[in-house]
Amino acid sequence: MSIKKYLRQSSPGTGHLSINSYLLRRGHAYPSQALSVEESALFTDVDFTRFKLKQCYYNAQTLMMEFQDNAEVKYAEGLAANNTQVPTFHAWLSVNGKVVDPTWGRLRMEPKETLQVVRLSHIMGTLPPGWEYWGVEFSCEDVAIAMVAHKSAISILDDYECRWPVLHGKRGHVGAS
């Protein structure tokens, strides 16, 4: 099932406030598109091995802070899915609308004795077959405000501690009207 179809089925009526209905109205799909040589060069010095699985908000937000002076790079939150799972709330970076995901990528399961998952590569523009990303983008300033307010990396969309400021229009995403 596509993420857009999932959002349509899981969003309450237009009178209700939810992350899914917000994403359906304000989000967009991210295409599978290779990074240009210039875009790839932005990440040449990034050590992607430092990013841990299941830490998408921390991974994407801390990486975003390394690109404070680059308007091409945005922090994105929304839903992501591969061809075997239900869409999952997730965070990644967007470079000119292309996905750079420091958390997910091609994985390999090690032998049963170790039960380790080894990440073989990260998502750098081109999505594996059957993968989808749908979300909204935030500026580096939005990320910094959220990280300082919480002294941690958390979901900006699902900021329940501050009573969901994005959903209530108190903080917007890039391109919000």
- pLDDT of the chain, 177 residues: tens digit per residue: 789 888 888 876 656 678 999 999 999 999 999 999 999 999 999 999 899 989 999 999 999 999 999 999 999 999 999 877 789 999 999 999 999 999 987 655 555 565 555 555 788 999 988 899 999 999 999 999 889 888 999 999 998 888 888 888 876 555 444
What phi, psi does 58 have (nearest 5°)?
A: -65, -50
Q: What is the pLDDT of residue 177?
A: 41
Residue 168, classified by CB atoms within 10 Å of its CB into exposed (0-12), middle (13-18) or buried (19+), is exposed
User: Is 73 within 8 Å of 93 (Cβ atoms)?
Assistant: yes
In the chain, where the domains are located: 3-162
Tell me how far apart the alpha carbons of residues 63 and 93 are, in angstroms, rounded to a whole number: 8
Please classify residue 116 by burial: count the beta carbons closer than 10 Å to its beta carbon, then call 0-12 exposed, 13-18 middle and 19+ buried: exposed
Place of tokens 């240009």: 36
Q: Report d(CA 55, CA 164) in Å as an integer.
A: 21
